[in-house]
Amino acid sequence: MYKISRGFIVSDSYQNGNEAISINGFHTGILYEDKVYDNIHKEGVPYQTWLDDFSGFGQRTITRDKIN
């Protein structure tokens, strides 16, 4: 899970970074076989590429939870 402490998250891959993909500060992706999949990156992208694609205001927190 990608979290920004002040709400808005933008993705360079969505509307050239001109429109927020989240207004509550949370965005979630699924890491599978070294790629992250989400509603923006439906074909999957490498983990670091996924992290670098997002920006927002405030502290950035990344949470990785294992799904059993």
| pLDDT of the chain, 68 residues: tens digit per residue | 666 667 889 999 999 888 999 988 889 999 999 899 999 999 999 999 999 999 888 888 888 888 77
> Can you say whether the dihedral through the CA atoms of 9, 12, 14, 18 is positive or negative?
positive
> Is 58 inside any structural domain?
yes
> Is 23 inside any structural domain?
yes
> Is 67 inside any structural domain?
no
**Segments forming the whole domain that contains residue 25:** 2-62
Number of domains the chain is built from: 1
Question: What is the side-by-side order of every strand in the sheet holding 54-56?
Answer: 20-22, 9-11, 54-56
- The pTM assigned to this predicted structure is 0.80
What does the pLDDT read at residue 10? 93
> Is 17 inside any structural domain?
yes
* Residue 16 DSSP class: G
